[in-house]
Structure 1
Amino acid sequence: MTLTPDLIRQTRDVISSATIRTPLVPATRLSLHMGIDLQLKLENLQHTNAFKARGALAKLLTLTDAQKQAGVIACSAGNHAQGVAYHATRLGIASTIVMPEGTPFNKVKRTEEFGATVILHGNGFDESVQFTWDLADKDGLTFIHPFDDPVVAAGQGTVALEMLEQDPDLDVIVVPIGGGGLIAGMAVAAKSVKPEIEVVGAQAVLFDAVKAAYDGGETHFDGATLAEGIAVKAPSAANIEIIKQTVARVDSASEADIEDAVFDLLSNEKLVAEGAAGAGLAVIKNNLEAYKGKKVGLVICGGNIDSRLLSTLILRGLVRDGRITRLTFEIGDTPGQLATISRIIGDAGANVVEVIHQRMMQSVSLKQAELDVVIEARDMGHVEAIVGALRGQGFRVRTDSGV
């Protein structure tokens, strides 16, 4: 079977009653900050909070009665797993999901809650997939591949059909890439509706296999990524060929860029997005000139980020913005110093969050003390004003940000 516009349209007709037509909304604050017209396709509001539910359902609906009776198996870092588990259980089909060791706990838990049997194996998708194939052969299960299947890719391609129905004036669509199923399906669909539309791929630098294949360059595989949903070292060869024919370019983003982008989506648009979606916004931010004067659609492909990871990400983002800052003082070990510092900070309109006052360590002289004061401020400019007021009163103070 070949991935074609007709297959994508037929697939939409089949899955539309059991999938959510997710909204396409303007990113008002981000558009203002970046100087572009950005529209967000909220697939984080899809069943299981990710686009993967579309392709999973499309494939499940092609199974024979015998295959349904035997059950299905999938290998996934989480979003495809949840999509298969949710729709398989809904259709009365038993499902087994192989997930890499180290998969965020929330994804494992939610997959089990949807009715699947979860097996943890391997250090990533590429290490887990052969184990999954072997288990499928042994137990007679149908393997539902997360991206190397034209039916699955057709299900994902329905996202583009919706986007262009919701806003026919889109000039560019930016799509995160892991194994290539989403962007292959979307590019084929989008080009069939609007041939002049530009489709841009987004990857994490640490998992840039598709970009390397597209550009003819080297990969940069190295360690873990916040965008674990697109952490694929061996994408589909069929998808890569489609990408080469239909996609304008593939850009990549660093881990720091992806982290910033996830924080931006949360703080500016009040959207919970996982790292894969952050990669999409990150490559837009890194190439703003390419999007000036264009209406840009970005697929917020999923929102399944681990809550503990998100908590840390938020705190780090607040620190980067200067909204939480540590002030370190060297003060004379005499009464009243802390009270004076607190008064100056309070008068400046900031809030003291934490105080650490120590005399034991040998980084300061015997008659001095080191004082760490964590404050909550409005922004970095506010921090600079507070530090200026403190220094104006004779205090020796430094910050983590170098103010």
Structure 2
Amino acid sequence: MNYLEYFDTIVKIKERISSYIHETPIDYSSTFSRFIGGNVYLKMENLQKTGSFKVRGAFSKILTLTDEEKKRGVIAVSAGNHAQGVAYAATTLGIKSTIVMPEIAPISKYLATKGYGANVILYGSYLHESMKKAEELVAEKNLVLVHPYDDINVILGQGTLGLELLNLNPDYVVVPIGGGGLISGISIAIKAKNRNVKIIGVQSSASPSLKVSKDLGRLVEVDPSYSIADGILVKSPSKLTFDIIENLVDDIVLVDDDEIAEAMALLLERNKTIVEGAGAASLAALLTSKIKIRNNQKVISILSGGNIDISLLARIMEKYLYKSKRIVKVKVIVPDKPGYLNKVLNYVAKIRGNIIDVIHDRISSDVKPGYTKIYVMFEISSSEAISMLLLDLAKEGIEAKVID
């Protein structure tokens, strides 16, 4: 099938849903352009209503329902973003919605979905298990299923994002992939106008079903494992999205949680932008050079969502600071006598270290009687300051070591 023939339909859908959604900004990033060596633009879909692109496909689908279908109500399965998009779209249009979410769904996304007016049911560990429950409810209550990606109306709704990229004339568009609905819609919109644009998908290494399927040339299932990119943990794409991706997507690469976390941290620190794990996957692939961009090339990274649990974001930022040696933990072993801790802390103050935590340990096997092991955690402005601290402590005869 020639999916590019759907381009005009995407244009009509954009007109139909435009009053319900934002046309999100595209931000040129000099910082990431310098890091990557190309011209990097960030499509800020994390600023979309409900915090992700999913609301596009939700409105696209629900607006096609008959009056009889609207009265029956809709149901959706999602770890969070599709859930919120469907709940918001349904409530906006005066339709009842039921959402089945996996039990591991972030509490922030669960609460947001309820806040948009949906009846939320937690079931299963992963999306494919939640889908089985939804299918039971469809049969039992005659609800209308709004599938997150196995529906052409949803896919074409996501494709409206692609229309917003055309004026930039990119060389590359990099898109996070779960079930493949977003990249399928974007590929149709982009490739219909310029077949030379490279569309690159990015999956979590914890859930590489589309990467494996594309490499093998056939649809396969891969059980997902845990990832902070919960929005793209999908056991299997649909036949529909796989077929579109086979025809229109140039390549799929994988990123792991450490790479995603660093992209999230850099987005917050350098771009003042909160992006969830799934949404940051596209930038993670660029930052790790898994997609080779030349100096004069223009690349758009799709930041597909910003719905992250704040406690998880806090842990990611703390680990990022620790990994980049902006937060340091030093172990010292000193005589267990008054004045030694103060001496150590004075040297930390000398390098303008900001103390976060101090822990004593007198009972470990590597601590001699009459001594104590002290862990001092503190913030510093430069890695050079650590060398100065260790040198000062050594002059005092204090054994010290930085803990990685």
Check whether TM > 0.5: yes
Q: Which residue of 2 aligns with 1:70?
A: 72
Q: Which residue of 2 aligns with 1:183?
A: 183
Give 1:292 deviation, angstroms: 2.1
Q: Which residue of 1 aligns with 2:247?
A: 245
C-alpha distance in structure 2 between counterparts of 1:37 and 1:260, whole Å: 20
| One-letter amino acid of the structure 2 residue matched with residue 227 of structure 1 | A
Give 1:2 deviation, angstroms: 8.2
Gaps of 5+ in 1: none
C-alpha distance in structure 2 between counterparts of 1:122 and 1:280, whole Å: 28
Classify 1:222/1:49 alpha carbon distance in 2 versus 1 (closer, same or farther; 3 Å). Answer: closer
Q: Which residue of 2 aligns with 1:384?
A: 387
Match among 5, 15, 22 for residue 17 of structure 2: 15
The worse-fitting range, judged by mean Cα deviation, of 197-206 and 270-279 is 270-279
- 1:4-403 alignment, distance < 5 Å: 4-165=6-167, 167-168=168-169, 170-216=170-216, 221=223, 223-287=225-289, 290-293=292-295, 294-401=297-404
* DSSP-derived class of the 1:298 partner: strand
Give 1:380 deviation, angstroms: 3.3
Check the 8 A contact 2:326/2:380 in 1, yes or no: yes
C-alpha distance in structure 2 between counterparts of 1:6 and 1:385, whole Å: 65
Check the 8 A contact 1:179/1:232 in 2, yes or no: yes
* DSSP-derived class of the 2:125 partner: coil
Give 1:201 deviation, angstroms: 0.3
Check the 8 A contact 1:34/1:288 in 2, yes or no: no
Classify 1:382/1:235 alpha carbon distance in 2 versus 1 (closer, same or farther; 3 Å). Answer: farther
The worse-fitting range, judged by mean Cα deviation, of 342-351 and 91-100 is 342-351
Give 1:286 deviation, angstroms: 2.2
How many residues matched?
399
C-alpha distance in structure 2 between counterparts of 1:18 and 1:206, whole Å: 34
Classify 1:27/1:371 alpha carbon distance in 2 versus 1 (closer, same or farther; 3 Å). Answer: same
Return structure 1 stretches of 4+ with deviation > 6 angstroms. 217-220
In the superposition, the TM-score normalised over structure 1's length comes to: 0.95
Check the 8 A contact 1:76/1:98 in 2, yes or no: yes
Check the 8 A contact 1:208/1:219 in 2, yes or no: no
| One-letter amino acid of the structure 2 residue matched with residue 202 of structure 1 | V
Check the 8 A contact 2:23/2:164 in 1, yes or no: yes
C-alpha distance in structure 1 between counterparts of 2:263 and 2:394, whole Å: 34
C-alpha distance in structure 2 between counterparts of 1:392 and 1:219, whole Å: 60
Give 1:288 deviation, angstroms: 5.9
Give 1:41 deviation, angstroms: 0.4
Deviations 1:177-209 (A, max 9, x none): 000000000011011122211110000011000
| One-letter amino acid of the structure 1 residue matched with residue 226 of structure 2 | A
C-alpha distance in structure 2 between counterparts of 1:394 and 1:258, whole Å: 42
In the superposition, the TM-score normalised over structure 2's length comes to: 0.95
Deviations 1:283-338 (A, max 9, x none): 11222671122111011000011111111111111111111111100112232211
C-alpha distance in structure 2 between counterparts of 1:25 and 1:189, whole Å: 20
Deviations 1:119-153 (A, max 9, x none): 01111111111210220121111100000011100
- Percent identity of equivalent pairs: 37
Give 1:359 deviation, angstroms: 2.4
| One-letter amino acid of the structure 2 residue matched with residue 184 of structure 1 | S
C-alpha distance in structure 2 between counterparts of 1:301 and 1:315, whole Å: 23
Check the 8 A contact 2:36/2:289 in 1, yes or no: no
Classify 1:46/1:2 alpha carbon distance in 2 versus 1 (closer, same or farther; 3 Å). Answer: farther
Check the 8 A contact 2:36/2:286 in 1, yes or no: no
Check the 8 A contact 1:2/1:150 in 2, yes or no: no
Classify 1:146/1:288 alpha carbon distance in 2 versus 1 (closer, same or farther; 3 Å). Answer: closer
C-alpha distance in structure 1 between counterparts of 2:299 and 2:287, whole Å: 12
C-alpha distance in structure 1 between counterparts of 2:78 and 2:57, whole Å: 13
| One-letter amino acid of the structure 2 residue matched with residue 261 of structure 1 | A
